[in-house]
Amino acid sequence: MAKSANRAGRSKPSAPPPDPTEDWEVSERRREFIESFGVLREMAGSPRMEGRVLAYLMTSSKPYVSSAELAGALKASAGSISGTTRRLIEMGFIARHAIPGDRSHYFTVDDDIWGTFLAGERRYLDRQRAMFSDLLADVPATLTGPRRRLRNARNYMEWLATYHRKMLADWKAYNETHNVDTDEESAAGDEERS
């Protein structure tokens, strides 16, 4: 440990260097991002809290975060966090994390959250396609308008599910070639923040 001289000429230990992880967890830049991402998600039609929780987990250096930490950091009620995390789990954005012997709820986010979301969204499309197909089987043949609209809805969901498989493969290939933290990106980020 480095020593510095005091007035009497005696050496005293200098303070340890700041921990960048701890600094990041409470940084103003991270807090601004969390709030901005919440607003952005809200503008896209999702509840703002979903965006805030998602942004908090994406930017956390911790492997998992408790619901109590989320509530405290985001100044939200336990009920709001509970409902929000449940929806994000259902959509495939986050996952529960269990700690043996601990009854608290913990959450984690996959490093490739968007690829995970795409894969989960396909299940939703399959359910919608099945719903349209089931109803189409019960609509009388003489009702051409409703049948045409339901057929189009079913066909769209089938097409989109097929495209989703290609899109997920394309995303994975793209991400593999672009997922490198380069010195240029770090410098660009530093310049943007200055």
Confidence of residue 37 (pLDDT cuts 50, 70, 90): very high
Q: Domain for residue 119, yes or no?
A: yes
Q: Residue 90: its pLDDT value, please? A: 87
Note whether 69 and 33 are same-domain residues. yes
Question: Domains in the chain: how many in total?
Answer: 2
User: Given a cut of 80, is residue 21 above it in pLDDT?
Assistant: no
The pLDDT mean for the chain works out to 85
Q: How far apart are CA 92 and CA 115, in angstroms?
A: 10
CATH number at residue 45: 1.10.10.10
Note whether 31 and 103 are same-domain residues. yes
Q: Could you tell me the residue range of the domain that residue 36 belongs to?
A: 20-109
Helix, strand, coil % in the chain, rounded to nearest 5? 65, 10, 25
Identify residue 102 by its one-letter amino acid code: D
User: Given a cut of 60, is residue 6 above it in pLDDT?
Assistant: no
The domain boundary residue, chosen from 109, 133, 149: 109
Note whether 53 and 68 are same-domain residues. yes
Note whether 89 and 117 are same-domain residues. no
Note whether 38 and 98 are same-domain residues. yes
Q: Residue 15: its pLDDT value, please? A: 62
Joined tokens for residue 28: 């103003």
Q: Answer for the pair 33, 76: CB distance below 8 angstroms, yes or no.
A: no
Note whether 65 and 122 are same-domain residues. no
The domain boundary residue, chosen from 88, 109, 130: 109
Q: What is the pTM of this model?
A: 0.69
The domain boundary residue, chosen from 91, 109, 127: 109
Strands 106-109 and 65-66, bridge-based pairing: antiparallel
